[in-house]
Structure 1
Amino acid sequence: MSDRVTLRIAPGAGGVSIWSEDLFAEPGAPRLRDFIARAFSVDDVAAVDIRSAEAFGRIRYAPAAAPESVWRRIAQALRPSQPRDLESAAAFERQSDPLDASNLYLDHPGRWPLRVSRIGGALSTWRLRRERDGALRLAHPALRNRRDLSHRLEERIIAILGVDDVRSRAFSSDLLLRFDPKTLPLERLVRELERAWPALIEGEDQPPSVKRLYAAGSLLTLAAVAQFAVPALRPVAVGAVVVYAAPNVAKAARQLRHGHIGLPALYSFGLGLMLLSGLPLTGTIMAALMQLWPYLTHRTIVNRQRRLFAAHRKRPVWARAPGGDGEVEVHVDDLKAGDEIVVRAGETAPVDGVAVSGLAFVADGLGRPASPLHDVGPGDPIYAGAVVRDGELTIRVERTGEATAAAHVGRILPHAAFRNLPSLYEAERVANRNARPALALAALNLMTVRAPRFSQAVIRPDYVTAPRLSAQLSALYDLADGLRQGVLFRKLAALDALSDIDVVVLDDGAGLERRTLEVDQVALLWGSAEDAIAHVAAAFAADGSARGRAIARVAAQGAATGRHVHGLRRSAGAVWFRDEAEREILVASTAYLARHGVSLPPKLERLATAQAADGTPPAILFRDGAPYGVVTFRGSGEPEARAVLTALRRRDPKIRFVHVSSRRTAAARAAAEAVGIEFAFGGLDARGKVAILRSLGRRAVWVGDGAAPDAAEVMAASDVSVSVAGFGNAPDDLADVALLRGELAGLTTLGELAQAHRARLRGDYRTVYAANLLGVAGAFLANFGSLQAGLLSNLGSGVVFARHVKRLNSLIAAIEAQRERLAG
């Protein structure tokens, strides 16, 4: 395998040691991968150890192997060509085929000693410590004492479809995995672990920092020992507290030079009181608590977001591509636009594309405006993450990997604590404002009575920690709850800004002229129209589609409501159930009939092939196997925007609506009047729309198509931009908020989210201030010291934290229950 002769080989009882610069000095070289693959073609080879720094490798035998026999087979396998004589050739053919070593990640920058071994039917640098049904315990030396690598590994692996749970332990370099072998076979999982290494090493995501928490905990221990056990350590403890607080003192000094008094001055004053008393324990308890709450908040966000956003991040890692001799499995990253793949019942679409053949009933919570449960047939779009519940599709690939809409949404969703939230800045501002009277009262008391106890109690309440964690956890809840309802906050700052909006500016892309779907015709061979309406309403009752809403409105007007049906089941293109008379009812689509070769009587055939202008298919009715009717639909109802704007006005009577358009002024005004908009401006280009926005002189939200090329400048001029471009356009959408279902009705959901967010923050402020004021009142009325006042304040923080955790857990339960229902 090498032209060089600088090679030393030492066979032994447990393996063969090899020293070679050519083989081992360059870990990622093709010759080393070829060497590893050839070595593992011998069944008795258990592992290959590599120490590139020493240009050393060792082929390990299985414990029960006969060394001489194994060595001969290894030597034969490592030869660059097959043996020439027939007997040796036959023996060579009986050996296992070389395993694929191309996927191994061998060039770790730390040059750790690596061990390549078999895990299932794949080679890996991970070391298998335990395996049982659906559970693995692996180890890798690269993880040792690397919390950053462990954190990034967890985030990446949990996103693989089929991985149920993952936990890493940096101190022992362990990785604990639970996975579904039916969805993700062991060999594929092992290959993904190898493919993950470049992203882990080059990534920037970091776990929550524990340095200041550990420092505060160490100070607390030192102060407790000094105050209660070893008084001689008290000066050391006081000095350590001074060093710990030095950054606050420096910040307070800088603020005072500019005439500002805030939290740093308050903390510095508390440090001075501690120096007067010489008792650092209370201060270190409070310091430890002030570090504990942010850490718990960060950990809560990191842990909860994995479950809240699992459905949006899970990605299949393989696909089935049709080939000349059948189907072949390919990695999703190897697919490109124009390729075709096959997705069957129980599988998840790994790409964005268009169905070219087949018919399927899919569950897709975000990928379609009509309903999360819908049929997909030739010509229909399908998005990565959609689960095929019944049927089969051949899909032409349009976007793969990180280019899919689901991947784009997943990148926006947070992995850790938030930054740049207006509510966080507001928490800082309010806390700094409150620091001034507290500091003044404490200083006045100290000058009057010259006893620090009351002054310490007055400055001890924590006005900033609980509002900070409230802003963070509330934002996480609203982001997840909004996503569940089809609202994606691309910029979370919009959540706070929406509470102060005065004007809603609707652009051309807002879809003002889109009308609600209505029932068009009910054509019957026999039976009653009431029965037909009731049967279609029962079939579409649970999917929330536009057809379901249209038929429900008609059913509510007559005698078609309240009909009892049972045994409802759904497949690709069809819904079956039994009505109150125990008749079997089938509500089918034309695609279902075409797939199964079912023909209709001429009277129904014409209507069955008709579709609404927006492509809404008709519903074809069968009773006990015989066709008896067709129900068609058309988009002829009132404009959808009218009901949305009415609901927004009802919530906030002061809000105003403006329509800006590139069409003629008359057309713009007609569209605006049809939905109840007061002001309309036509004949505008992008600059003209920007001028209108700026001339309003109010806080404005822009609504339109955030993926349109000419929308960027207009969106930048608004306080908040909201897009109705829909989920499929998410990769190109630049709006602050995206209504993923592409419906203007999402504006009402958006308003409700903003309103609930503001109310939640106010409730948390009331809790915190009640606890803080109780602590100050206790100092006046019950002679509270700083410890009692501080603990009361932290009790308020604990109540706020527990309330948010409970709320998040309830949301997680609801999301997971909904996911199970969609998965069937």
Structure 2
Amino acid sequence: MALLELALLGFSGGFFYAGKKPEKTGNKRNALARLRAALAPIKAHKQSLQTFIAESPDQEADEKALADQRELKRTASVFAGSTAIAVAGTVLYPPLAVLSVPGAVYLLRDVYVNTADTVIKGKPVGVDPLMAIFTTSMLYQGHFVVSHFFISLYLLNRQLIKRVKQESKRNIIDVFRDQPSTAWVIIDGTEVEQQVSAIREKAIVVVRAGESVPVDGQVLEGFAAVDQHMLTGESQPVEKSAGDTVFACTVVLTGSIHVQVEKTGEETASARIGQILNSTVDFKTSKQLWAEKITQQTVMPTLGLSALTLALAGPTTALIFINSHFRYRLMLATSTSALTFLNLAAQKGVLLKSGIILEKMQNIDTVVFDKTGTLTLETPNVAEVTAFGDWDANTILGLAASVEGRQSHPVAKAICNKAAALGLQVEASHEASYQVGYGLVASIGKQQIQVGSLRYAQQQGFAIPPALLDKAEQCHLLGNSLIIVSVDGVIAGAIELQATIRPETSAVIQRLRDQGLSLHIISGDHPAPTKRLAETLHIDNYHAEVLPETKAEIIKQLQAEGRSVCYIGDGINDAIALKEASVSVSLRGASSVATDTAEVILMDQNLNRLCDLFQLAREYDQNVKTTSQMVIIPSLMNLGLAFVPGYGLAASMTLSATSVLAGFGSSMLPLIRHQQTRIIG
């Protein structure tokens, strides 16, 4: 039996410390050499536990996290010391092994406390009483090393379960993380920089191009193009002038405005979205793993059979019955499987915040996309260039690119990208300046070029061709933007901009449709562009001009119909819907609220990773089934062989150890295959 105990410990050390070269044992007749060899796996155990501790994602710099870390390190040290004493007693002096019992009891203190609560307080019987009975019996019979082997499984399982079941985030929202901490406020006619937290209602804040709006308020003077798609879902910049309302977390692209403060801090629209999220933060954090459920459900039958066996066949057979229960072996194997696929997903560019997501993805039958920033890119594209009079389209585009060349907003990027793609010559512009209205004026040679909106052209008193008015109406119906290019006060042409569909979108939509999934588009944008995008992608279900709260209501309605919904969004306006969905997905680079709320982040901003997520979920489901069989089948064999003559406790423990190895190997196989594929590729 002593040889079996050392073999189990050696197996366990190799299992948790793969790749470590064994120490030379020297002369096997030398007791000290044998002891050093026997203690080598203990170092492996300790290093394994410390590795799991170091890799734990729960390493936040607060007192509780530091206390947990110290406790885990203390546990690893106690385990190493207690096991060393057990091995020393087995190899050198048997009575010495008894001194390992206090360490074993300390390591299993939670097990014994829970068992006492079960007996005294009548709590539901869980797996802890089985562990307490089996380990106590093994220690009583002098199987000190084997007891520590099973203790090591318990400790590693507890750490793995903690990692797999970690909650997405309790403090899920900090909507001001990316907001400026200071703003320029007009006091007695002078601009003074103040902390945003100190700004009060009725104050006047100045916001210039490239700056975020820090408050909700009304524009008193000035004019600006504001990107508010993160909050409202509108794909194109919105012109704001005196009397219009602006919101915190939006960005001024061009121009400058004076804003009279109406709401600050937690009263702003974006903060109210955060409050709604915080009120539902615990909505999806309590789901148990399947392995835990089946483990708990089989505890009472196992205890009943072992009690009956104790009366009929004696303590050894009763212990075999208890040992046949997979206890922590099943949870250890399935937890390792979850960690394997979390790692595998990360290597494929998919960040999963919990292994539970892989289970939930298997039930998804409906995928809902936010339009702007998810199916489309932030930068629009030039759909058409219309020239008037003697001008030609390429000249119009080249002049606009020359004026917009130094601007960084999406409209300027779209114009410059199109000019570069056509190989147009871009000339140097001089004396560029913003005018009242959404307009930019610059000199090219002896000509003055004006680039701006139709509203700007009308404010400047330019003669508007009837064809331009017709074009503007058409663009409005389609949800496109129209940029007017004028030369020396005469309108020369117009550039139509439309949303840019992500290049991979069509293929991804087709792959999802082939899987039989129901597809929807939700957008805060106008109906016309939303409808056109849905028709382009052959998606029958779309919802336009949807408010943030309404997005969540649509998700609720779909789920009330019995559907399981995966929602993909990237803006502040998507956060409530993301929280409501069965599975929520966002893209790296999206608003901090969206990435904090989403359970899945596509790290390379590529929607193809969404298809990878569905594939990983299917593979994970199959892997868990195979891994579970590797653990459950040996347990059933243990039950069947318990009454076979000559089948004793040693053989039972060997079979249990084999099930651990088989389950671990099965759970790690997908990652090994992926790494081999990468090497070959």
When the two structures are superposed, what TM-score results if normalisation uses the length of structure 2?
A: 0.52
Which residue identity lines up with residue 528 of structure 1 in the other structure? Answer: D
Cα shift at 1:526: 2.6
Give distance in 2, aligned partners of 1:343 and 1:312.
17
Bigger share in helix: 2
Determine helix, strand or coil for the equivalent of 2:100: helix
Partner in structure 2 of residue 90 of structure 1 = none
Which residue among 183, 188, 201 is the counterpart of 1:324? 188
Partner in structure 1 of residue 83 of structure 2 = 224
Give distance in 2, aligned partners of 1:633 and 1:418.
43
Determine helix, strand or coil for the equivalent of 2:391: coil
Which residue among 331, 335, 342 is the counterpart of 1:465? 335
* Contact preservation (8 Å) 2:482, 2:494: yes
* Contact preservation (8 Å) 1:224, 1:281: yes
Determine helix, strand or coil for the equivalent of 1:621: strand
Which residue among 349, 353, 363 is the counterpart of 2:213? 349
Give distance in 1, aligned partners of 2:62 and 2:428.
48
Which residue among 97, 101, 109 is the counterpart of 1:243? 109
Q: Against the structure 1 CA distance between its residues 634 and 529, is the aligned structure 2 distance closer, same or farther, given a 3 Å change threshold?
A: same
Determine helix, strand or coil for the equivalent of 2:231: coil
Structure with the larger RCO, 1 or 2 (CA within 8 Å, 6+ apart): 2
Which residue identity lines up with residue 224 of structure 1 in the other structure? Answer: T
* Contact preservation (8 Å) 2:197, 2:265: yes
Determine helix, strand or coil for the equivalent of 2:271: helix
Deviates more, 1:756-765 or 1:342-351: 756-765
* Contact preservation (8 Å) 1:286, 1:790: no
Cα shift at 1:322: 1.8
Give distance in 1, aligned partners of 2:351 and 2:113.
39
Q: Against the structure 1 CA distance between its residues 466 and 431, is the aligned structure 2 distance closer, same or farther, given a 3 Å change threshold?
A: farther
Partner in structure 2 of residue 57 of structure 1 = none
Determine helix, strand or coil for the equivalent of 2:109: helix
Which residue identity lines up with residue 293 of structure 1 in the other structure? Answer: L
Cα shift at 1:396: 3.6
Partner in structure 2 of residue 290 of structure 1 = 157
The superposition leaves residues 142-179 of structure 1 with CA deviations (integer Å, 9 ceiling, x where unpaired) of: xxxxxxxxxxxxx9xxxxxxxxxx99575xxxxxxxxx
* Contact preservation (8 Å) 2:552, 2:576: no
Partner in structure 2 of residue 271 of structure 1 = 135
Which residue identity lines up with residue 158 of structure 2 in the other structure? Answer: Q
Deviates more, 1:384-393 or 1:723-732: 723-732
Give distance in 2, aligned partners of 1:242 and 1:645.
50
Determine helix, strand or coil for the equivalent of 1:313: coil
Determine helix, strand or coil for the equivalent of 2:230: coil
Which residue among 496, 510, 513 is the counterpart of 1:650? 513
Partner in structure 2 of residue 628 of structure 1 = 492
Partner in structure 1 of residue 452 of structure 2 = 589
Cα shift at 1:369: 2.8
Which residue identity lines up with residue 590 of structure 1 in the other structure? Answer: S
Deviates more, 1:343-352 or 1:464-473: 464-473
Which residue identity lines up with residue 206 of structure 2 in the other structure? Answer: V
Cα shift at 1:317: 3.5
* Contact preservation (8 Å) 1:349, 1:388: yes
Give distance in 2, aligned partners of 1:727 and 1:705.
12
Which residue identity lines up with residue 369 of structure 1 in the other structure? Answer: G
Q: Are 1:736 and 2:580 matched, yes or no? A: yes
Give distance in 2, aligned partners of 1:578 and 1:255.
86
* Contact preservation (8 Å) 1:362, 1:388: yes
* Contact preservation (8 Å) 1:505, 1:657: yes
* Contact preservation (8 Å) 1:423, 1:496: no
Give distance in 1, aligned partners of 2:284 and 2:165.
15
Which residue among 707, 711, 718 is the counterpart of 2:549? 707
Give distance in 2, aligned partners of 1:375 and 1:657.
26
The superposition leaves residues 106-132 of structure 1 with CA deviations (integer Å, 9 ceiling, x where unpaired) of: xxxxxxxxxxxxxxxxxxxxxxxxxxx
Give distance in 1, aligned partners of 2:423 and 2:448.
13
Which residue identity lines up with residue 465 of structure 1 in the other structure? Answer: S
* Contact preservation (8 Å) 2:204, 2:258: yes
Partner in structure 2 of residue 367 of structure 1 = 231
* Contact preservation (8 Å) 2:210, 2:253: yes
In the TM superposition, what are the counterparts of 1:511-660 in structure 2 within 5 Å? 522-529=386-393, 532=396, 562-563=422-423, 588-590=451-453, 600=462, 603=465, 607=469, 612-613=475-476, 617-621=481-485, 628-631=492-495, 650-653=513-516, 655=518
Structure 1 gaps of 5+ residues are 1-154, 156-165, 171-204, 483-488, 507-515, 636-642, 660-671, 681-700, 805-824
Give distance in 1, aligned partners of 2:610 and 2:303.
35
Cα shift at 1:619: 0.9
Give distance in 2, aligned partners of 1:448 and 1:530.
90
Structure 2 gaps of 5+ residues are 1-57, 89-95, 370-379, 500-505, 523-533, 591-597, 599-604, 638-650, 675-681
Q: Against the structure 1 CA distance between its residues 270 and 545, is the aligned structure 2 distance closer, same or farther, given a 3 Å change threshold?
A: farther
* Contact preservation (8 Å) 1:216, 1:291: no
Q: Against the structure 1 CA distance between its residues 365 and 617, is the aligned structure 2 distance closer, same or farther, given a 3 Å change threshold?
A: closer
Give distance in 1, aligned partners of 2:410 and 2:489.
27
Deviates more, 1:782-791 or 1:313-322: 782-791
Q: Percent identity?
A: 18
Cα shift at 1:454: 9.0
Q: Are 1:281 and 2:144 matched, yes or no? A: no
Cα shift at 1:630: 1.9
Determine helix, strand or coil for the equivalent of 2:549: coil
Q: Against the structure 1 CA distance between its residues 480 and 705, is the aligned structure 2 distance closer, same or farther, given a 3 Å change threshold?
A: farther
Q: Are 1:395 and 2:265 matched, yes or no? A: no
Cα shift at 1:736: 1.8
The superposition leaves residues 220-279 of structure 1 with CA deviations (integer Å, 9 ceiling, x where unpaired) of: 145234324563422323433553322554688899998x9x755764565356434233
Give distance in 1, aligned partners of 2:278 and 2:216.
23
Partner in structure 1 of residue 525 of structure 2 = none
Give distance in 1, aligned partners of 2:221 and 2:673.
50
Q: Against the structure 1 CA distance between its residues 645 and 397, is the aligned structure 2 distance closer, same or farther, given a 3 Å change threshold?
A: farther
Q: Against the structure 1 CA distance between its residues 799 and 648, is the aligned structure 2 distance closer, same or farther, given a 3 Å change threshold?
A: closer
Cα shift at 1:407: 3.2
* Contact preservation (8 Å) 2:217, 2:261: yes
Q: Against the structure 1 CA distance between its residues 385 and 326, is the aligned structure 2 distance closer, same or farther, given a 3 Å change threshold?
A: same
User: How many residues end up aligned between the 2 structures?
Assistant: 532
Give distance in 1, aligned partners of 2:633 and 2:338.
24
* Contact preservation (8 Å) 1:584, 1:624: yes
Deviates more, 1:283-292 or 1:789-798: 789-798
* RMSD across aligned positions (CA): 7.5
Cα shift at 1:341: 0.9
Cα shift at 1:501: 5.7
Q: Against the structure 1 CA distance between its residues 236 and 520, is the aligned structure 2 distance closer, same or farther, given a 3 Å change threshold?
A: closer
When the two structures are superposed, what TM-score results if normalisation uses the length of structure 1?
A: 0.44
Which residue identity lines up with residue 341 of structure 1 in the other structure? Answer: V
Which residue identity lines up with residue 580 of structure 2 in the other structure? Answer: D
Q: Against the structure 1 CA distance between its residues 459 and 319, is the aligned structure 2 distance closer, same or farther, given a 3 Å change threshold?
A: closer
Give distance in 2, aligned partners of 1:593 and 1:333.
35
Which residue identity lines up with residue 589 of structure 1 in the other structure? Answer: G
Give distance in 1, aligned partners of 2:660 and 2:237.
56
Q: Against the structure 1 CA distance between its residues 255 and 774, is the aligned structure 2 distance closer, same or farther, given a 3 Å change threshold?
A: farther
Give distance in 2, aligned partners of 1:794 and 1:567.
65
* Contact preservation (8 Å) 1:320, 1:343: yes
* Contact preservation (8 Å) 2:208, 2:254: yes
* Contact preservation (8 Å) 2:400, 2:451: no
Determine helix, strand or coil for the equivalent of 2:259: strand
Cα shift at 1:401: 1.0
* Contact preservation (8 Å) 1:504, 1:655: yes
Cα shift at 1:631: 3.6
Which residue identity lines up with residue 99 of structure 2 in the other structure? Answer: L
